[in-house]
Chains A and B, each alone.
Chain A
Amino acid sequence: MKRYVLRRLLVAIPSLLIASLIVFSLPRLLPGDVVQLMLEEKAYGKDLEDLRAKLGLNRPMYIQYVEWLGQVLRGDLGESLWTRRPVLEELTARLPVSLELGVLALAFAVVIAVPIGVLAAIRQDTVADYAMRSMAILGLSVPGFWIATLCVLLPAIWWGWSPPIQFTAFSVDPWAHIAQFLLPAFILGIASAAAIMRLTRGTLLEVLRQDYVRTAWAKGMRERVVVLKHSLKNALIPVVTVLGIQVAQILGGTVIFESIFGLPGMGRFLFDAINQRDYPVIQGVNLLIVSVVVVMNLLVDAFYAFLDPRIRY
């Protein structure tokens, strides 16, 4: 087990390096120049050059990359070109917000999806199965930003109620703090729930057709035991793998949901930074997101090996 995790860790290093290169070069390819943007029309040739030199943007890209990588390894992500505040400091303030949103969304997704998936599988080809599958496909089809828009809009029109747009910190009012996450997390989790439900149903159906399950039926065991005790455990293994993919999806979704619901998280930070060509911020957020995804996949792999002893490590 230890050796397996260690090997996966080693494999993760080159992919993180490749990712860091992509993360570094992508924002630099953005059309439009941050220096131009900062000085607007007032800029003359010399001002542009001065500011560029001050920000260190006039040196060759590879030198900038090596320097940046060295800084990152020392835990320094640079500072925002606009606010001059350290990116790491901004990120540590914003990461918990996104994590809270993401974890809640994933929790909603799993709690809703697994029982429905099991029900749909054991009632295969009944009206209930069709209804639940159609609901799942609908969940995959409806854009989250639309539901979010309607959830802000319609209650405001009908009852004059709207979800809180002002962010409340946990230390100020714990209940209000958690409450403001519930709606966005639920909507963010819908698509993941649909995907997890479909997978649960599919893998459970496959497991239910295996010989050992037939043996369990033949022994006269009750349905509850056959399904929940014998089959579900095996069926959930691929579901765990998919959770890793869902984390990436949910992290992407935070960009939209934090903007709509006014949550000061990483996604919104990234969105603003892209609009302002704030290279250090874009790099920092992207690097953090990719790292979270790589680490999550690592954890999923380790957990996978723990769940299924047939996987050799």
Chain B
Amino acid sequence: MQSQPVEAAPWGDQTIKRSEAPSRVAVGLGRVWQFTRRKPLGALGGLIVLGLLTMAIFAPWIAPYKYDQTIPGARMKAPGAQFWMGTDNLGRDVFSRVVYGASVSVTVGFGAVLLANVLAALVGVTSGYFGGAYDICVQRVVDAWQSFPFLVVILSMMAVLGPGLLNLILALGVLGAAAGSRVIRGATISAMQNTYVEAARALGAGHLRIMLRYLLPNVAATIIILATIGLGAAILAESALSFLGFGVPPPYPSWGAMLSGSGRSFMYRAPWMAIWPGAAISLAVFGFNMLGDALRDVLDPRLRGGGGRPAA
């Protein structure tokens, strides 16, 4: 397969002058097109993610009703022309709630992943760069952090912090950092084998400069992949916690919370209440996972290339 390797870091090609900016857009679009042709499933994932972001940002304009608006005389109406996904036991439009739910998922997802990756990069890059006793100590803490079952820890953490959007981001971010830091540490160690790192050190560059200017750009691809897959995981975790009643408190329309609580007993008469929020979670997480998978194939050269079977 003839394939152009995609740049590992967007800031890798600094030789391009500002005056050539228009061609840069063209290059970018070309890359998107190339990515779409090589990884159609990844592009599909990207499309789903784009749709999710649009829904999250423009929720007030897309949703026909407010998420907590009770429509008189419309309790548990089946899906139809007026209510695309039906209404729930309190007479609220399910479609509107699913649309607003996207902004909850996206907020928690991006917040948690941002926090997780900043922490992971901080721990991973320093751990890989300094090595020695510091590395050993830090990695043992990471070990302990990882040996707790995720849901059990986060349930206990959320019980301590109390439900709420910010607390959820905090708990998911801190917990999500452990696994990522291990991967970034590995990428840092392999990036340090490059001779330009040695050259930079010989030129008298300080620790901070080497880490920020030479190592971080080289592990950027890893961070992007981790973040994309982490977004799916964070959205899934948020929905599970909200389902258990430890996530986003009502009346905020979290997809997970919509599947639980007082509405559960009404689902036998109004099954659409159970179907759409779950479908929304699945689709959103599916999109991020597909995109993350394709990005990894493209950005991680180790996994690229043909199969092992000899040509017949």
Residues of A that sit less than 8 Å from B by CB: 15, 18-19, 22, 26-27, 29-31, 122, 124-125, 130, 133-134, 137-138, 140-143, 145-147, 149-150, 153-154, 156-157, 202, 205, 208-210, 213-214, 217-218, 248-249, 251-253, 255-256, 259, 270-271, 274, 282, 286, 289-290, 293-294, 297
Q: How far is the CB of A108 from chain B (nearest CB, A)?
A: 19
B34 within 8 A of A: no
| A83→B8 CA distance, assembly (Å) | 59
Q: How far is the CB of A230 from chain B (nearest CB, A)?
A: 12
- Indicate whether A19 sits within 8 Å of B147 (C-beta atoms), given known contacts A143-B256, A251-B152: yes
Q: How far is the CB of B30 from chain A (nearest CB, A)?
A: 23
| A27→B153 CA distance, assembly (Å) | 11
A141 near B160: Cβ-Cβ < 8 Å: no
Q: What are the 9 A-B residue pairs with the smallest beta carbon separation, nearest first? A: A252-B151, A146-B278, A208-B308, A252-B149, A141-B285, A141-B286, A209-B308, A248-B149, A124-B307
B244 within 8 A of A: yes
B274 within 8 A of A: yes
**Chain A hits for B5, CB < 8 A:** none
**Chain A hits for B264, CB < 8 A:** 149
Q: How far is the CB of A283 from chain B (nearest CB, A)?
A: 10
Q: How far is the CB of B86 from chain A (nearest CB, A)?
A: 14
| A210→B285 CA distance, assembly (Å) | 34
* Interfacial residues of chain B within 271-312, with CB under 8 A of chain A in the complex: 271, 274-275, 277-278, 281-283, 285-286, 289-290, 293, 303, 305, 307-310
A145 near B148: Cβ-Cβ < 8 Å: no
A293 near B144: Cβ-Cβ < 8 Å: no
A156 near B268: Cβ-Cβ < 8 Å: yes
Q: How far is the CB of B198 from chain A (nearest CB, A)?
A: 30
B150 within 8 A of A: yes
Q: Can you give 17 A-B contacts (C-beta < 8 A)?
A: A26-B156, A26-B157, A26-B160, A130-B41, A134-B290, A143-B240, A146-B282, A147-B278, A150-B278, A153-B267, A156-B268, A248-B147, A248-B149, A252-B149, A259-B244, A270-B152, A274-B155
Residues of B that sit less than 8 Å from A by CB: 41, 140, 143-144, 147-152, 155-157, 159-160, 162, 232, 236, 239-240, 243-244, 256, 259, 264, 267-268, 271, 274-275, 277-278, 281-283, 285-286, 289-290, 293, 303, 305, 307-310
A157 near B159: Cβ-Cβ < 8 Å: no
**Contacts across chains A and B counted by CB atoms under 8 Å:** 142
B274 near A217: Cβ-Cβ < 8 Å: no
B278 near A149: Cβ-Cβ < 8 Å: yes
B150 near A249: Cβ-Cβ < 8 Å: yes
| A286→B159 CA distance, assembly (Å) | 14
| A154→B267 CA distance, assembly (Å) | 10
**Chain A hits for B307, CB < 8 A:** 124-125, 205, 208-209
